[in-house]
Amino acid sequence: MSAVSASQSIAPQTFDIRPFSGAVGAEIIGLDLSRPINDQDFARIHHAHLDHHVVVFRDQRITPEQQIAFSRRFGVLQIHVLKQFLLAGHPEILIVSNIVENGVSVGLGDAGKFWHSDLSYKELPSLGSMLHAQELPSEGGDTLFADMHKAWDGLPDALRKAVEGRSAAHSYTARYSETKFEGNWRPTLTPEQLAQVAEVVHPIVRTHPENGRKALFVSEGFTTRIVGLPEDESKQLLDELYAHSVLPQNIYRHQWQPHDLVFWDNRSLIHLAAGCPSYLRRKLYRTTIQGDAPF
């Protein structure tokens, strides 16, 4: 049986796509990602992701294998440089967690502590990321998303002229060792790991390869400098871009519910982990889909 006919034989699912009332995002209700998804249903999901930039699949009782398989329908998966925090037997999954067992962190405890777009420090940054809730704290733990298309669209003329046609450098180690959340730490990177995250340069304003819209592509987490500008001028300009990017009207704040799977577009958004008390357990599984070279 061909792949096309096999897909056609998969029964459609009944689900709703409900946009959030604020700046960005939608929730998908009634879809079961543990079941096969035919091409028509997948196309609806894909369009919702492009239209709303972040989609929340509610109450997903899926295995790591099922998360990986669904993620792969969007593209090649990227393996995180911190191999010690990858799920055993499933290197495609990064464990995001503040849990410490027998003195050892089970996952990356302070992932997302500064606004960023995942893997913007790679030659081929992420298309999007999926984060599936495993254990949630009773308070805190929210994730914030800022729409970088709206940030570009609303950029004052002076800032727009200052950045058009310019590029910026991105580095994984830009703020790697800075402490933000109590009780979390990051391991020292080996020379081999450092070689995997060498500095890269991308346009400050990128064009989304699927929807054609322009978006700012800088973040306080990974952007280090604007190429060709003096250090003080670069810093001032970047600080203005960062402040403009996270205006309240551009932000969706996700308050996690049990078994949420959140899928966001790293070409359209930056995001931030708000943190939670260190004594409350939090664990999520992340898959990351490779994108294209920004242009």
Which residues are designated catalytic? 116, 118, 271, 286
CA distance 64 to 67: 5
Strand partners, 215: 206
CA distance 17 to 26: 7
